[in-house]
Amino acid sequence: MTHEQIIETLEAAFAGQLSDCDTAHGISSITIPAAANLKVLQFLYDSEDLQFRFLTDLTAVHYPNRTNEELCVVYHLHSLYLNKRLRVKLYVPVAAPKVFTASKLFSGANWMERETFDFFGVEFVGHPNLKRILNVDEMDYFPMRKEYPMEDPTRIDKDDEMFGRGGTIC
């Protein structure tokens, strides 16, 4: 089964809900509505033709300029049966970043979701133990969001304006 056929199968099952389907660098990518994530993951898991039963990776990306869909949650699934990978994306607003947890379907999603919560603040609804994992519990912000610069913005000794990159550090 080719990447195109995988996307066709999905489009047949979720008519009108898929967007941005493309295949690049040997992996297909689809975007789904945030509320449909469990339905899509369950379909991919159960389908005898697809068998996407291995969750390779789960993370998020912050796009501050995309109004009302600032946070992108990315699942990387792997079908050992087809030996194909699939990237499933969904967007949620940073003001209310709620996504249903996949930890019932994949035990491995538990810590991956905790890490995503820890760094991006994505709230996984129904997660059994959604608390910080790598950062300290007292932390009151989500450090991987783009509004937090990596270094102290008040430092001027590292300002690299003279290298033609503009004066801001972010």
Partner 1 sequence: MSAHIHLDEASIQKQTTTLNLGPTHPATHGVFQNILEMDGERIVSAVPTVGYIHRAFEKIAERRPYYQITPLTDRLNYCSSPINNMGWHITVERLLGIKTPKRVDYLRVIIMELSRIADHLVCNSVIGVDTGALTSFVYVFEFREHIYEIFEAVCGSRLTTNIGRFGGFERNFPQEAFDKINKFLEAFPRGMKEFESLLTRNRIFMERTMGVGGISAERALNYSFTGPNLRAAGVDYDVRVAQPYSSYEDFDFNIPVGTTGDVYDRFLVRNQEIWESVSIIKQALEKIAALEAADPSQKEVFYAKEADKYHLPPKEDVYTKMEALIFHFKMVMGEIEVLPGEIYSAVEGGNGEVGYYLISDGGRTPYRLHFRRPCFIYYQAYPEIVKGSLLSDAVVTMSSLNLIAGELDA
Per CB under 8 A, residues contacting partner 1 are 24-27, 29, 53-57, 59, 61-62, 74, 76, 80, 83, 85, 87, 106-108, 110-112, 115, 119, 133-137, 143-144, 150-151, 163, 165, 169
Q: Which is nearer to partner 1, 40 or 89 (CB)?
A: 89
Cβ 9 to partner 1, closest distance in Å? 21
Q: By C-beta, is 5 or 56 nearer to partner 1?
A: 56
Report the C-alpha gap between 47 and 138 in whole angstroms.
43
Q: How far is the CB of 141 from partner 1 (least distance, A)?
A: 12
- 3 versus 87: smaller Cβ distance to partner 1: 87
Nearest distance from C-beta of residue 39 to partner 1, angstroms:
19
Residues contacting residue 49 through CB under 8 Å, at least 6 positions apart:
1, 9
Nearer to partner 1, 38 or 169 (CB): 169
Instruction: Supply angle C-alpha 60, 89, 24, rounded to 5.
Output: 105
Residue 169 to residue 151: CA distance in whole angstroms? 7
Buried b (16+ CB within 10 A) or exposed e, 3-34: beebbebbeeebeebbeebebeeeebbbbbbb
What residues pair up with 91 in beta bridges, in sequence order? Answer: 72
Closest distance between partner 1 and the C-beta of residue 92, in Å?
16
